Every structure is written in structure tokens, then in C-alpha cells.
Chain A
Amino acid sequence: MRAPNIDYAQLLPVLVVFGVAVIGVLVEAFVSRENRRTIQVPLAFAGIVASFITLFFVGKTPRTPAVGALGLDTPTVFIQGTILLLAFVSMLLIAERRVDGGGPFVAEAAALPGSEEERRLLQAGAQHTEVYPLVMFSVGGMLLFPESDDLLIMFVALEVLSLPLYLLCGLARRRRLLSQEAALKYFLLGAFSSGFFVYGIALLYGYAGTVRLSGIAQAAGSATGSDILLYAGIALVGVGLLFKIGAVPFHGWTPDVYQGAPTAVTAFMSACTKVAAFGATLRVFYVAFGGMRWDWRPMMWVIAVLTMVIGSVLAITQTDVKRMLAYSTIAHTGFILTAVVATSTQGLSSAMFYLAAYGFSSVGAFAIVTLVRDGGGEANHLSRWVGLGRRSPLVAGMFAFFLLAFAGIPLTSGFTGKYVVFLAAANGGALPLVVVGLLASAAAAFFYVRVIVLMFFQQPNEDAATVAVPSAYTSVAIGLGVLVTVVLGVVPGPVLQLAQDAARNLFVG
């Protein structure tokens, strides 16, 4: 029997990231504690950059390397590039040490919260450098997730990207119980949704006799098997994917996890996980279920509407800035789903553009959240943000700018993104969805504006939070966030063109 022919050169971007992650683990094992960080940080950045560079050498023609288990095509390359860029920016936040002495992560995850041991480790300046290989593993999984042309590989990628995230969520340096609760909640719900996903795969296998996306599409086209298996399979696989992108009604974990996780990890999840999960969702629904779109579209309409409306409305009642941003993410997920519903090259390109635009603004916004602090860590309650604009006009101004971008004010990337997804939806005959989306945007504007009101129009009170002075890491992350948000708002042409060119061929299948 011959070994399967795997075109390793085509897998280079993924392999580089996994390789660096493995080296990172070895570093943890063999390098002394004091020197680990000085090796891990450059290693992680180098891995992301190297992987990004190799993306340019991957062939432009669509192909299915690894005996068809993977599908490599221009949309995938665009999505992977977006993930790597966003991972780079998020990594800047993860590597930050000056804002909270020792970095945003716990000194030793095994030490009980509030124990003597924990205090001793904190004083010794210990830190978790396992974070870096964990993030790299997660990034590797994210790269693989939208590239999978095979539901089993996709499942493996899903787990590879998720498991490190569950851990990372529990590693916050401050408010550790909240963080651990978030990790456990995310893990349990994530495991549950993975169960749905696998069950869906089994049913689809029963229907089509294959787990290849193209094979399922073919089987669905020939209409031989039992429709019940097919529909149930679509629904269950859909649940797994929609959980990961945080669409209503599978969004319940988002606010808790976003709130409890270290903010740098929250930024990473809100940007990178979202891109990867949407990439996989787009591939599955366009390739495997593309021929069935008349069947799943009504359901997707309902989910898009619910996601937009519930995300926007519930955000209004939030008093914690991270929870508010979590609900805002949910609302944005709904906006992107309107493009998924379009099932067209325009839908694909607009979703990809939106993801890139939103990711940078989101990382920038969370980066600013890490700066607003008091003695006990981040001051996330909105009442602590009162009057921030008077004491730190620059930081508050940038946060206001990100909020306006989320609200979709013109000349920000948020407006361009909304315009493209709604245009795609309207072209796909979903004009009512567009109207709902715009009404939800109006509701969403309310809570973004509310934060601006309390930052700028109210007098600071005595327990207002202070703004930490970050090192170059966080400053660069925020700067990049602002820059991309402006550029994609004022001259979005080149990136739009890139997304359109990438989407022209749709996914290989």
C-alpha cells in the first residue's frame, strides 16, 4: 500500500505555525524559567510572520492537497492571511507586560486563587510562558479550520483551535475565579457543540457515504439517500459552526467568556476565532450545502435576524464594557450572516472584508480596555469610565472612534463593511434582512453612543479609573487598529479588490 501523497509545500503556512508551537513546548521543557519569555515572544512573532510570508508562495490555482482532505483556494488564502495578521496584533497584547506588572496572565495556573503560593509567585514575578505555544496551536487550528475540505479534518481543526482557547480563558491574572468559571463554561458548552458537530458528520456520512464536502454536495445533487439524514446533518453541523461564530441562539457563552477571559485573549477570540469560524461556515454552506441553499436559507434568515436584534438589544442593558463589546460582537456576527445568506461571490467577498475590518477594530477596542485600570486590575464597569475623555482625551478619543466604527459611521471601516454585506444581501434578494439589519444598527448605535456620552459629556467622579501607560506592544496594536479602521473607511478600494479577486472563484469543491 502506498503512502498517501501529501503536498507538504502547499501546507507550509499551517506547518510553520504548528512547528513553532512545538518548538515553544520544547522551550518550556528545556529552557530555564527566567529565559523563556525572551525566547518565546520573538519565536511566536517570527512564526506568525513566516507563516504569512509562505502564504504568498502557495499556488494561486485552486487545488485539494493531502488527497483531497484540504481545499486550498484564494478565499482560503485571504482568510488565512486575515487570521495571521489579526493573530499578530493580538499577540502584541498577549506579550504586553508593562500595563500589569508580569503581563495579563496568571503566574501559575495550578496555584489556588488567593492562596499563599499564588502571592509568593506573583511577588517573584513568575509568569506563564506556555501561553505562547498555546496561542500558536490555536492559530494553527484556525488556519486549518477553513481550509478543511473534509468534515473530519474540520472537526480535528476545530478541536485544535478550541482546546488551547479553553485553557487560555482560565489564565487571567486578576479576577481568577471569574476567569476559571469562563474557561469551564466555554469548555463544557464547546464540548457539547462539538458533540453536535460530530453527530452531524455521522448523519451526513450516513447520507452521502463520504465526509468530503464536495462528495456531500454531489450526493445532495443526485438526491438518492434519505432527506431526513441530510437535513438533520446540515442542522447539527450548522449548530457546531454557529456556536463557534457566536450566533443566536448559540451565543450564550459569549458574554461570560469574553468577560472572564484575560482581555488579550478576548481580543484574540473576537478577531481570529471569528474569522476562522466564519471561514469554515462559509466553506461548508457554500460547498457542501450550496445546492441545498433553498432549504437552509430560511433558517439562516431567522438566525441572522435573531442574532442582529438580540445582540443589539441586549447590549443596551450591559454595564460591563467587556460584556457590552461581547454583545456588540454578536450583533456584528448577525450582520456578517446576512452576507452568508446571499450565497454568492459578492456575499463571500463582503463577509471576508467585514471580518478583516471588524477584527482590527475589535482588537483595538479591547486593547484600550486593557489600559483602563485601577489598583485591582482592569476597571471594566462602565461607571468607572465616566469622564475618561476629560482626563485621557487621546485614549478615550480612540475608543470613541472604534465605537463609531462599530456603529457604522461613514469614513470608518465599520461603514464600508456594513455597506458591502448589506449590498450583497440586497443583491441576493434579502432586502427585508437589510432593513432589519439597519434598524438593529440604529438600536446598536444607542449603546455605543451611551459610552461616548459617559466618557466625554460627564464629569469624572472620584472613583474613576486611571489609564495605564502601555509599552510599545499595546501601543502598536492600538495604532494598527486605528490605522486600519481609518484606511478601510476612507480608501477601502485595494482591500475590497483583494477580497473580490479572492472570492471570484468561490471555494474549491
Chain B
Amino acid sequence: MFPYLTVIGVVPLVAAIVVAAAPRERTGTAKWVALLASLVSFVLTLVMAAQFRADGPRFQFVENHAWIPQFGVRYALGVDGISLVLIGLTVVLVPVAIAGAWRERGARVDGGDKGYFALVLTLETALVGAFAALDLFMFYVLFEVMLIPMYFLIGRYGGIRRQYAAVKFLLYSLAGGLLMLAAVIALAVSASEQGRQTFMFEALTKLHLGAGAERWMFLGFFVAFAVKASLFPFHTWLPDAVSESRPSSAILLVGAMDPAGAYGMIRYCLQLFPNAAHFFTPVVLVLAVIGVLYGALAAIGQKDVQRLLAYTSVSHFGLIVLGIFAMTSQAQVGATFYMVSAGLSMGALFLLAGVMTARRGSRLIDDFGGVYRVAPVLGGTFLVACLSGLALPGLATFTSEFLVLLGTFSRYPVAAGIATTGIILAAVYMLWMYQRTMTGPRTPAAERMRDLGRRERWAVAPLILLLIVLGVFPKPVLDAIAPAVKQTMTQLHVQDVNAEGK
């Protein structure tokens, strides 16, 4: 069988090397190589997704080879519905980010853009690998390695306080990652004590762990994932990292990397340590609900567009974690779908905000106003993106938020009730931002604002299109996710509330 996953992951890496090695005069060509490689991965993912059978075996397109036999580590790739849609999200966002970074002004660029594109492609490899890994060790390796390109993307190409932001980002993530490594080692010791020197995910789910050990290991994993998914109170690096990043980096950071943390929770925290997951659920739910509200309230108070969007994302991921730990199939399907739709929505928002701020030379909301009259396409697409941010029915974010809240309500009505207010607040910050930037009288600054160019339209169109299509017709994605969630639920020994109630 064609090794889809390896090829999808390796194509960007090869392109990254080519781009990085290209002479500086050929930067123009290098950019096209980067875009082409990311599109190749995208097309291959489409082909693969078309062959994915929702009713098939749990993991499909499996590749399994020995990697480090001395540790029992295998090069094992495969996808279930959850990882498939997240790989899909990644391969959509990377070409968008590359197109968005094509000629990003405002952000200081030096050393040529080549390095930037090489780093974006390397990040794509690590992301695809992390989502596809079936071996815990391999997952850990790629989960950590993805920090390095992102660290350089922030630190090298970001705004004025980029050094601080990049170091903060890396140290938070590394500290979380090292705690996870301690848990991985503890898990390896338990596994070898039980005579299975392996890191294969499915074998690890069958281990018998003592209650105490399981809880500690859960915490090690959970903290790492919570940092990555910017769950309150582990989120503080995110606003700095996002506001100092170039918009394209922010798209990948929030749209593709944060989901890796949430993915880690649903795949590893819940399924490797089901008892500990139940034990810690109340705490996690409280944190998630706080995150929803805190992110939304903080967003309302922001003056800087990118910072506002960063807090929005804290709020979104609060809701995603809520859905994951609500432990009903509706909520988990919704949470996974929300990773995708929020990724698309944030991608569009960052892209358009990036265009605006680059033209205006400022990221302060107060510096805009009346843009819609001058640049109707920019204004129109930004409106759709904002509406997706506040989960307007008919857009993909609505379906996912609705599923999360419905699923959570059936088990934890209070949490769902409080989280719902987050959605109301989302309407406040999104519409208020839209109103202040786009409507009102033309400001002198807006007067000179160019509308979206051809390249920018091409970059944002797929995101808007997907948000609408998946909003109206989410079935294919939901159908792919549902069996994987069912597996998770079985592993957790829980059933949906209605099923229990009978």
C-alpha cells in the first residue's frame, strides 16, 4: 500500500531542506517550491481521506517498522477519524499560511523569507507526524521537535518583543514536555515490568497501572498538553507568543499547534489513564470553564487585534477541553470538530487581521475605522470570519460549539450553562472589534487602505469556503470522528447519559 502518511510528512521536510539550501537570489523560486510542496501534501491528504472508511478498522493507512528496537520504539503511523481530520486541518492551514506570508509587510523580515518558509514546512512535518504517530515515543519526539521551528518563527521573524515571547513560549512548552517525559519513562518502566517493552499506543492502553502511579503519569501528560493547548492557567505564554508573531506564524500556532495539545488529551490522557482521567475530571472542568470565561473577558479588554484573537483562542480551547472531559460522545465529537472549525476560523481572522495591520502599519483597534467602505472584500470576508468566531448558525463553528455544549449539558449542566455565557461574550468581543475597525466614518488611515489583492483572496477563500460548507454539511467530518470517539468512550468505560438513563 502507498505510504500516504510518510509521504505527506516527508514532502514538506524535503522541500524545507531545498528551500533552506537555495541561494538567496532564488528566494522567489524557493517560495513557489514551498507552496507547491504544501499543496502536494494537501492533495495527498485529500486522496487519503477519500479512501478512509469510517466503518473500517480503528487505525488505517498503518505503517509499522522497527525504529529503535532497544527501547521497543517503532516507526508506526496510522490515523483514526480524529487524527485524520487534524492532519486535514494542518495541510489546509500550511498553504494558507505560506500564501499569507508571501509578502507580509509590517513585520520586519531579514535573512530573506526563505528561512521562514523552510521553518513553516519543517513545522508541518512535525505536526503531521505527531498526529499520525501510533507509537507514544515517536509522538513525544515529534511533539517536542515541533517547538523548535515555532521558536525560530516567533523569535526570528516576530515583533519588537519577540525574544521575550519566543523564550517564554519555548520554556513553558519544554517544562511541560519534560514533565511528560518523566511520565513516559515511568510508563516505559511499568510496561517492561509487565513484560511488554513497547510504546505502541494500543498495547499501552492494556497496561495495568496502580492508582497512584496512574494519577502522577496523567498529570505529567496533562500539564504538557495543557500548556500546548493554552488551557487556563497554563495559557500565559500564548498572548505574548501570538501578539509577537507574524500573522502566518500565529495561524499555525493557534490553528495547528494548539490542537496538538487537545489531541494529546483525547488520545493519550483519556485512553492511557482512564481512571485518573475520571479522578481529575472535576478539576479539569473547572479550569476549562474558567478558561472559557477568562479568555472571553480578557479579549473584550484588548486594544491590539492579534492579542484579542489570542485570548479568543484561550476561550475556544477552554470549550474544547470542556468537551473532551465531559466524556459524552456528542461533546467529544463536538470538541474534535471544534478544533477544526476554530482552526479555520482563527486562520481566516489572523490572515485578514494581518492584511489590515500590514496596510495600516498598526495593530491597535483604535487606529482603524470605516475600512468597509474603502475595502469591501476585506470587510466582507472579515465579517464572515468574525461571525464564525462568534459561532453564527450556518457556520462550522456553530455546529461544533453546539455539540460541545449539548454533550456537556447532558452530564454537567452547570458547567455547560456557565460556558454558554462565554458564547454570549464572544458575540461582544467579535462584533465590537468588527464595528470599531470596519464600520463608522472613514478615518484618514482607512482612506488609503487597499482592498484584498488576488493572492490574499486566494489565501482566504478556502478557509471561508470550508467554514460555510462544513457549517451546512458537517456530516462527512462528523462521521469520520464519531467511531474514533466511540473507541475513546469504550476505553474510558463510560456511556452517554441517555444510554445510562434507560
Contact = CB atoms under 8 A, between A and B. Distances in A.
- The answer on A and B forming one complex is yes
Interface of A: 390, 393, 404, 407, 409-411, 415, 419, 422-423, 426-427, 431, 434-435, 438-439, 441-442, 445-446, 449-450, 452-453, 456-458, 491-493, 496-497, 500
B445 interface: no
Contacts of B111: 390, 393
Contacts of A497: 69-70
Contact of A500 (B70, B152, B156): B70
B170 A411 contact: no
B497 interface: no
A456 B152 contact: yes
B171 A446 contact: yes
A410 B155 contact: no
Interface string B183-194: 001101100100
9 pairs of A and B residues whose beta carbons are closest in the complex:
A410-B141, A438-B178, A496-B70, A457-B155, A442-B175, A410-B144, A457-B163, A426-B189, A426-B185
B174 interface: yes
A390 B185 contact: no
17 contacts: A410-B141, A419-B181, A422-B182, A426-B186, A431-B189, A438-B178, A442-B171, A442-B174, A445-B170, A446-B171, A449-B151, A449-B171, A453-B155, A457-B155, A492-B70, A493-B68, A497-B70
A252 to B, nearest CB: 28
Contact of B167 (A390, A449, A491, A496): A449
A409 B167 contact: no
Contacts of B179: 438
Given A390-B111, A410-B141, A492-B68, 10 more contacts: A409-B147, A410-B142, A426-B189, A427-B192, A431-B182, A446-B171, A452-B155, A457-B163, A493-B67, A496-B68
B363 interface: no
B182 A493 contact: no
A204 B235 CA distance: 57
B4 interface: no
A493 B70 contact: yes
B166 interface: yes
A357 to B, nearest CB: 14
Contacts of A426: 185-186, 188-189
Q: Is the interface of B mostly helix, strand, loop or mixed?
A: helix
B162 interface: yes
Chain B CB within 10 Å — which of A438, A452, A456 has the most?
A: A438
Contact of B185 (A434, A450, A492): A434
Nearest to A418: B181
Contacts of A457: 155-156, 162-163, 166
B207 interface: no
A410 B145 contact: yes
A216 to B, nearest CB: 32
B188 A409 contact: no
B185 A442 contact: no
Nearest to A494: B70
B185 A423 contact: yes
Contact of B182 (A410, A434, A453): A434
A422 B141 contact: no
Nearest to B188: A423
B155 A456 contact: yes
A491 B66 CA distance: 11
Contacts of A438: 178-179, 181-182
Nearest to B70: A496
B366 to A, nearest CB: 29
Nearest to A450: B167
Nearest to B193: A427
A304 to B, nearest CB: 16
Chain B CB within 10 Å — which of A404, A410, A446, A450 has the most?
A: A410
A435 B175 CA distance: 11
A163 B189 CA distance: 43
B189 A423 contact: yes
Contacts of A453: 155, 163, 166-167
B148 interface: yes
Given A409-B145, A427-B192, A439 B178 contact: yes
B167 A411 contact: no
A434 B141 CA distance: 18
A493 B69 contact: yes
Contacts of A492: 68, 70
Nearest to B115: A393
A458 B155 CA distance: 9
B182 A458 contact: no
B110 interface: yes
Nearest to A439: B178
B176 to A, nearest CB: 9
A441 B189 contact: no
Contacts of B189: 423, 426-427, 431
Contacts of A419: 71, 181, 185
A266 to B, nearest CB: 27
B91 to A, nearest CB: 22
B144 to A, nearest CB: 5
Nearest to B143: A410
Contacts of A411: 141, 145
B140 interface: yes
Contact of B178 (A404, A423, A441, A500): A441
A147 B192 CA distance: 33
Nearest to B172: A442
A404 B174 contact: no
A407 B174 CA distance: 10
B174 to A, nearest CB: 5
A423 B142 CA distance: 19
A453 B152 CA distance: 9
Nearest to B187: A426
B164 to A, nearest CB: 9
Interface string B399-424: 00000000000000000000000000
B161 to A, nearest CB: 11
A404 B148 CA distance: 9
Contacts of B145: 409-411
Contacts of A496: 68, 70-71
A390 B140 CA distance: 31
Contact of B110 (A390, A435, A442, A450): A390
Contacts of B155: 452-453, 456-457
B327 to A, nearest CB: 29
B163 A458 contact: yes
A440 to B, nearest CB: 9
A493 B74 CA distance: 11
Contacts of A450: 167
Interface in B92-109: none
A458 B171 CA distance: 19
B166 A422 contact: no
Nearest to A427: B189
Contacts of A458: 163
B174 A445 contact: yes
Interface string B70-91: 1100000000000000000000
B76 to A, nearest CB: 15
Given A442-B178, A456-B152, A410 B140 contact: yes
A419 B70 CA distance: 12
A200 B337 CA distance: 68
A445 B152 contact: no
A427 B111 CA distance: 47
Nearest to A496: B70
A434 B171 CA distance: 19
Contacts of B167: 446, 449-450, 453
